[in-house]
Structure 1
Amino acid sequence: MQQPICPRPLNLWLYLGIPLATMLALVALEWTSVDMDVANLFFDTATGQFIGRHSYLLENILHDRVKQGVILLGVLALAVFVASFLVRGLYGWRRELGCLVLALGVSTAFVTPLKKLTQVQCPWSLTQFGGSETYSKLLEPRPATDKPGLCWPGGHATTGFCLFALFFALRDRKPRLARVAFAVALIAGTVLSVGRMMQGAHFLSHNVWTAVFCWLIGLGAYYLVLYRRRAQNRPATEPRPA
């Protein structure tokens, strides 16, 4: 019988403290003009459009194709998880696969309800960038409009940052591979976030909020499904020290 995997201790100052500190920083950001300042860097006043608004690379490749690839990953993860109940060689990975499926599922499902709840406008819809909507920050009341915004948190950033789920699924069994997965998730999420900002689809803070949410979801799935205290993984009887 396969011995249970003994998890490495969780450093909550690192795994939970940094995301919570980031959330506080994002709230403080509401009293600054950073979001608008960064958006202005990607806006071409000569053409009256964001520099990536009609980019084939940003829209068709980094948006559509990458999203399809992550959807395929989620479907494959679910299929292998189901197979782990039937294929003996996958039995030992069932919990890791379950953690992966749970984290991916929640990470990609939370965005739409929050968008509908918050109704934050996209940069490209605002009067400052040639649109017709009035700008309001996350914690401010929404101006009256016939077209509520659907831009907070950043949806496409989830396509990259949801891959934090791979880090947590691999954390105890394959720590080196887990670190690679973390780097891939961070880089992918950042690249996709910048791409959408270049198109005028999101402000900087929208995407950082998404990264924090995806990390906390992955951490929560790991803690619920995989993490066990070391005492629970010790044999029922241990030899006394000589």
Structure 2
Amino acid sequence: MSAGPRPGRGSRRHLRGLGLWLLALLLTLLVFRTWPQTDPQVSRLFHDPTQPTRFIGDAHPLVHAVYQVVPHVGRWLSLISLVLVCIPRRRFGAGGPQRWRGRAIGLLAMLVLGLGLMVNWALKEHVGRPRPVHTLEFGGTVAHQPVGQVSTLCETNCSFVSGHAATGFVLIGIGLGAGPIVRRRWWAIGLVSGLLVGAGRVMQGGHFLSDILFAGLFMAGLALVVRWAWVGWRWRRRSRRRPA
């Protein structure tokens, strides 16, 4: 008996997905590099010098509440996912519980590799982009830094990219190990959540529009890579279990 067909069709889909993602990344970068004032222009829509923080978002109770709650949601998701992953597989029955353990693996990968390592460490701590509220255009003390440049104008917890928005985008990970319908559903939930949370951060002057869009692009790219690695690992695991 053979080990079953290689996931060739799935691999081609993954390659197409990565190709589309790369195209979207390059086009978004091109837009913000060609028209660098797009970010300040969007932020100016929410600028109000009469507000204590100079942006209307912090005066809105719902926006402020989301800002406060989202980091706690990220921590709880990390804890719940870690607990589910650490419980031995044999402890789960077939069906729903087993599926949710698999979904916790995808979510934990997005939280650790995406939110923790890529966003909060590699990008926010090393790109050095000042937040809108800190720039000269909005009453701050430093110049606006266009996307695609590394600067020393911000030393830590900087603007590029948005950690709050990335926390919304991590929900994509829940569907990474599931079938197409469930996977698309969680992709939609994750993208909408990240964009809504990110919109609140733009309204607060905490992030530029590009910080939100690139957070989504980077998290989506990681999700594609994790899905590709997961499918390959499943195929190799099943191949070893079947007789030649």
The two structures have a TM-score, normalised by structure 1, of: 0.80
Alignment match, 1:123: 132
User: Is 1:83 the counterpart of 2:90 in the alignment?
Assistant: no
Q: How far apart are residue 72 of structure 1 and its match? A: 1.2
SS in 1 for 2:165: helix
Q: Is the 8 A contact 1:30 1:138 kept in 2?
A: yes
CA change 1:52–1:96 in 2 (3 A) is closer
Matches within 5 A, 1:29-48: 29-32=32-35, 33-44=37-48
CA change 1:202–1:76 in 2 (3 A) is same
Matches within 5 A, 1:164-183: 164-170=172-178, 172=179, 175-183=180-188
Alignment match, 1:67: 71
Q: How far apart are residue 95 of structure 1 and its match? A: 5.4
- Contiguous gaps of at least 5 residues in structure 1: 238-242
Q: Cα deviations across residues 33-83 of structure 1 (Å, max 9, x unaligned)?
A: 211221112223565822113433212x21221331232122111111111
Q: Which amino acid aligns with 1:9?
A: G
The two structures have a TM-score, normalised by structure 2, of: 0.80
Q: Which amino acid aligns with 2:141?
A: S
User: Is 1:108 the counterpart of 2:115 in the alignment?
Assistant: yes
Q: Cα deviations across residues 102-124 of structure 1 (Å, max 9, x unaligned)?
A: 22211211212211211101111
Q: Cα deviations across residues 189-212 of structure 1 (Å, max 9, x unaligned)?
A: 010011000001111111111111
CA change 1:126–1:149 in 2 (3 A) is farther
CA change 1:147–1:217 in 2 (3 A) is closer
- Contiguous gaps of at least 5 residues in structure 2: none
User: Is 1:157 the counterpart of 2:165 in the alignment?
Assistant: yes
SS in 2 for 1:112: helix
Give me the whole-angstrom Cα distance separating, in 1, the residues matched to 2:28 and 2:79: 33
Q: Which amino acid aligns with 1:133?
A: V
Q: Is the 8 A contact 1:124 1:200 kept in 2?
A: yes
Q: How far apart are residue 131 of structure 1 and its match? A: 1.2
Alignment match, 2:193: 188
Q: Which amino acid aligns with 2:138?
A: F
Q: How far apart are residue 19 of structure 1 and its match? A: 1.7
CA change 1:148–1:88 in 2 (3 A) is closer
Q: Percent identity of the aligned residues?
A: 23
CA change 1:35–1:146 in 2 (3 A) is closer
- Alignment: residue pair count: 228
Alignment match, 1:209: 214
SS in 1 for 2:125: helix
Q: Cα deviations across residues 185-232 of structure 1 (Å, max 9, x unaligned)?
A: 111001001100000111111111111111121222222233458698
Residue number among 135, 148, 152 corresponding to 1:139 in the alignment: 148
Q: Is the 8 A contact 2:128 2:155 kept in 1?
A: no
Q: Is the 8 A contact 1:121 1:148 kept in 2?
A: no
Task: Indicate the RMSD between aligned Cα atoms, in angstroms.
Answer: 3.0
Q: Which amino acid aligns with 1:124?
A: V
CA change 1:190–1:141 in 2 (3 A) is closer
Q: Which amino acid aligns with 2:60?
A: S
**Range moving further from structure 2, 42-51 or 15-24:** 42-51
Give me the whole-angstrom Cα distance separating, in 1, the residues matched to 2:214 and 2:114: 12
Q: Which amino acid aligns with 1:150?
A: C
